[in-house]
């Protein structure tokens, strides 16, 4: 079993609130890495991806890294329909809940 599969399965089996928290932690880590932010820096979860400094190319990098770690495909339109970290986490949580 790959790390991605076990990460996705582990998070997907968590109760809803814990799943949201685990996904938020994961997403924040990937977004901070793309933005070259330090761990202690605050990432605004309710600001749009472009307002926090992401370009379309960097956003696709984050999408791919999340897909790889979670072992699932994220529809590119979801990033524009859910344009904040907070909304993306809710979207991902729904996908994992449906898979469980």
Note the pLDDT tens digit of each residue in 71-98: 889 988 988 888 999 999 999 998 888 8
Note the pLDDT tens digit of each residue in 32-45: 999 999 999 999 99
- The H or E element containing residue 39 is none
pTM score above 0.95: no
Supply the pLDDT for residue 6.
55
- CA-nearest of 47, 82, 46, 44 to 63 is 82
Strand partners, 84: 48
User: What's the helix, strand, coil split of the chain in %, to 5?
Assistant: 65, 0, 35
């Amino acid at each position: 079993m790959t790390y991605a599969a076990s990460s996705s399965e582990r998070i997907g089996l968590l109760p809803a609130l814990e799943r949201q928290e685990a996904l938020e932690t994961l997403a924040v880590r990937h977004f901070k890495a793309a933005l070259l932010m330090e761990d202690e820096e605050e990432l605004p979860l309710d600001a749009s991806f472009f307002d926090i400094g992401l370009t379309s190319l960097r956003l696709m990098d984050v999408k791919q890294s999340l897909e790889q770690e979670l072992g699932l495909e994220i529809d590119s339109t979801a990033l524009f329909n859910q344009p904040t970290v907070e909304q993306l986490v809710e979207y991902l949580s729904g996908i994992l809940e449906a898979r469980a």
